[in-house]
């Protein structure tokens, strides 16, 4: 094999009384080890790709879902703002470093903090959907923020910019 990174490789392992025997095929189609082979592995061609920045992807997911929800309420799209992203990221990192639940903040401020525990990194759409689900408690006839701190911020008509930050605790 002159250029292993451009070929499909298949390996099989045979264990018998004499130890381990290996079987190598130059293509996926050739990988048909005989009886006695207990396991095998096929490795497809590996291409070099540039992975997306997870925070950029998360921000994009948040923005897209906000704008989908805003369209449902006939309000204009938001745009990500670098300054708001910086402030949001600093706040997220501060909360994560302290490993505390976000403080109860003034509902009139245009900030929304999502805090979760566990081993999952939510995608941005799920976060926005959780905020948006407060709409079932929102009284359109008599707006009140007491039980819907996040939902109104998604559809606030005069909002045009959005900042997103995300951080994780050490454990």
- Sign (positive or negative) of CA dihedral 117, 169, 87, 50: negative
* Tokens encoding 128: 């926005």
Give the pLDDT confidence score for residue 7 in this predicted structure. Answer: 45
pTM of the predicted model, to two decimals? 0.64
C-alpha 107/C-alpha 113 separation (Å) is 11
Predicted pLDDT of residue 160: 94
55 touches 86 (CB < 8 A)? no
Q: Which CATH superfamily is domain 54-162 in?
A: CAP (3.40.33.10)
Q: How many CB atoms lie within 10 A of CB 72?
A: 11
pLDDT at 109: 60
Would you kindly state where each structural domain of the chain is located, as residue ranges?
4-43, 54-162
Specify whether the CB–CB gap between 79 and 161 falls below 8 A.
Answer: yes
> What would the DSSP string read from start to end of 6-74?
GS-EEEEEEEETTEEEEEEESSGGG----TTEEEEEEEPPP---PPPPHHHHHHHHHHHHHHHHHHTTT
The Cα 94–Cα 48 span in angstroms is: 35
Tens-binned pLDDT, residue by residue, of the chain (171 aa): 333 334 444 454 444 455 555 555 544 455 455 565 555 554 444 455 555 678 999 999 999 999 999 999 999 999 999 999 998 898 888 888 887 766 655 544 667 777 776 655 678 898 899 889 888 887 777 777 666 778 888 888 999 999 999 888 876
**pLDDT for position 134:** 86
Give the model's pLDDT for residue 3: 38
Give pLDDT, residue 59. Answer: 94
Q: Which of 161, 154, 159, 157 is nearest to 75 (CA)?
A: 157
pLDDT of residue 98: 82
Q: Give the separation between CA 161 and CA 130, rounded to whole angstroms.
A: 20
């Amino acid at each position: 094999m002159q250029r292993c990174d451009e070929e499909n490789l298949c390996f099989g392992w045979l264990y018998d009384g004499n130890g381990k025997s290996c079987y190598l095929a130059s293509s996926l189609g050739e990988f048909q080890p005989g009886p006695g082979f207990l396991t095998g592995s096929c490795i497809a061609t590996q291409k070099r790709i540039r992975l997306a920045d997870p925070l950029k992807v998360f921000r994009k997911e948040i923005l897209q879902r906000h704008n989908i929800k805003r369209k449902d309420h006939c309000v204009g799209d938001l745009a990500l703002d670098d300054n708001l992203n910086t402030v949001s990221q600093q706040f997220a990192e501060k909360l994560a470093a302290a490993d505390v639940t976000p403080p109860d903040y003034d509902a009139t401020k245009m900030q929304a903090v999502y805090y979760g525990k566990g081993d999952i990194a939510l995608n941005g759409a799920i976060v926005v959907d959780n905020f948006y689900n407060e709409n079932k408690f929102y009284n359109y006839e008599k707006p009140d923020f007491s039980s819907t701190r996040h939902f109104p911020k998604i559809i606030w008509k005069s909002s045009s910019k959005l900042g997103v930050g995300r951080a994780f605790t050490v454990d």
